[in-house]
């Protein structure tokens, strides 16, 4: 290996409002399993969301299923008029978000917890859908969030109780965050057609460390009907196998607790059983999944969804790199696909200016200065495989979360 390559190897080894919009982006990341569809009419309206009567936004995703090439597809129901109504006569409009068609939202309303609420939907083709009035269920605080590393899994548990005995039926959702790195650390950037050094004091300037966010797509239910008191002790919400990319460096999860009515709990139990044993809503008898929202226009039309109302409580768990088992942590990075022909050495200002600085979209990302002792900078090292240098390409953000602990 010549002196240039030695120096290169050494250097590579070093190293509503915006809140509502963010909530919607996180909410909209749910993954849907869409298997082959039987030869039946699958044109169902699907309503997914929760009336938050407390200090958080109310968000609903409204879509319609249809068949495309014999497969189930979900399309957003655009241009609907959606209203939240109380049995006291109040009405609040949910607006469709331009960044996510088919998603309707309203900021926190802090509603009267003694009232009942329902959802009214009128689609573009003038079909009207109305849910039953439902009581607002108040979620007690989550007492504690615990974890262990048993059976080669990260297991996360919650503890909660209701001294009044009014909760009984619980549902949990969560948003996971984990960090990861690109293969090469880029110390240089192109800004206004000029080559500059990245600045550690500028948030998001480095593209080596990223954080991935993922909302849960599991149905997690708990009930205290068979217990002497309304208390869940060490109730497991999450288990992650040690081979998962989520537990290689640092991991955090925000757990949200909802309290359900008995009818809502039974609906979600049915949905859980269907998705785990059968496959999806398209493989079950539609009557099994009928919720509490109905078509006013056509009484025989099937609508899938259950509207609940109430407050949500939440608690975060943060595990740093040093708290994860040593044997779980990320192995040395395989640089095979990132080196070789992808690595480009550019000598002299004119060469790398024409290759990187002139085009609006370069074919390379600059990595670092290429220099030789007693000679100084002689060029730059760049890489044509952006995925190897820019961690954001894998879907994460390089803005460090405020709650993150190294």
Residue 106, SS3 per DSSP: strand
Task: Give residue-wise pLDDT tens across range 320-336.
Answer: 999 999 999 887 777 88
Place of tokens 């109380």: 86
CA–CA gap between residue 187 and residue 194 (Å, rounded): 14
CA–CA gap between residue 364 and residue 386 (Å, rounded): 7
Higher pLDDT, 19 or 57: 57
pLDDT tier at 44 (50, 70, 90 boundaries)? Answer: confident
pLDDT tier at 372 (50, 70, 90 boundaries)? Answer: confident
pLDDT of 111 above 80: yes
Here the tokens at position 30 are 């749910």
CA–CA gap between residue 266 and residue 257 (Å, rounded): 17
305 φ, ψ (degrees, to nearest 5): 150, 155
Task: Give residue-wise pLDDT tens across range 202-248.
Answer: 989 999 999 999 999 899 999 999 999 999 999 999 999 999 999 99
pLDDT tier at 41 (50, 70, 90 boundaries)? Answer: low
Poorest-confidence range of 96-100, 237-241, 311-315, 375-379?
Answer: 375-379
- The conformation of residue 164, written as its DSSP 8-state character, comes to T
CA–CA gap between residue 300 and residue 285 (Å, rounded): 14
CA 316 from chain centre, in angstroms, equals 15
What kind and span of H or E run contains 152? none
Q: What is the mean pLDDT of the chain?
A: 86
CA–CA gap between residue 219 and residue 214 (Å, rounded): 15
pLDDT above 90 as % of the chain: 66
Q: Quick check: pTM over 0.85?
A: no
Is 382 in contact with 342 (CB distance < 8 Å)?
no
Is 307 in contact with 130 (CB distance < 8 Å)?
no
């Amino acid at each position: 290996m010549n002196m240039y390559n030695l120096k290169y190897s050494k250097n590579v080894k070093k190293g509503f409002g915006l809140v509502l919009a963010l909530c919607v982006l996180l909410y909209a990341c749910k993954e849907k399993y869409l298997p082959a569809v039987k030869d039946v009419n699958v044109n169902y309206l699907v309503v997914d969301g929760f009336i938050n009567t407390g200090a958080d936004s109310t968000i609903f995703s409204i879509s319609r299923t249809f068949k495309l090439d014999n497969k189930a597809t979900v399309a957003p129901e655009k241009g609907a008029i959606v209203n939240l109504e109380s049995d006291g006569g109040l009405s609040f409009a949910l607006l469709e978000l331009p960044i996510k068609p088919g998603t309707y939202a309203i900021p926190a309303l802090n509603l009267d917890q003694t009232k009942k609420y329902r959802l009214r939907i009128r689609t573009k083709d003038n079909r009207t859908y109305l849910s039953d009035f439902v009581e607002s269920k108040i979620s007690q605080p989550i007492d504690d969030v615990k974890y262990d590393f048993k059976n080669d899994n990260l297991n996360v548990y919650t503890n909660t109780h209701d001294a009044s005995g009014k909760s009984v039926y619980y549902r949990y959702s969560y948003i996971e965050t984990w960090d990861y790195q690109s293969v090469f650390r880029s110390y240089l950037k192109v800004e206004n057609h000029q080559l500059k050094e990245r600045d550690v004091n500028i948030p998001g300037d480095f593209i080596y460390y990223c954080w991935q966010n993922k909302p849960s797509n599991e149905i997690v239910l708990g009930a205290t009907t068979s217990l002497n008191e309304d208390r869940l002790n060490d109730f497991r919400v999450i288990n992650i196998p040690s081979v998962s990319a989520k537990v290689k460096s640092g991991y955090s999860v925000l757990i949200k607790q909802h309290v359900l009515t008995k009818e809502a709990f039974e609906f979600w139990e049915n949905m859980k059983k269907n998705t785990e044993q059968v496959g999806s809503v398209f493989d079950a008898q539609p009557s099994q999944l009928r919720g509490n929202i109905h078509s006013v226009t056509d009484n025989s039309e099937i609508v899938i969804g259950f509207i609940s109302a109430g407050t949500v409580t939440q608690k975060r768990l943060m595990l740093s790199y040093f708290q994860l088992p040593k044997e779980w942590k990320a192995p040395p990075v395989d640089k095979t696909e990132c080196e070789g022909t992808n690595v480009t050495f550019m000598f002299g200002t004119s060469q790398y200016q024409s290759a990187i600085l002139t085009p609006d979209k370069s074919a390379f990302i600059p990595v670092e200065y290429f220099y030789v002792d007693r000679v100084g900078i002689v060029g730059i090292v760049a890489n044509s495989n952006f995925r190897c240098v820019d961690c954001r390409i894998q879907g994460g953000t390089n803005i460090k979360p405020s709650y993150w602990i190294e």
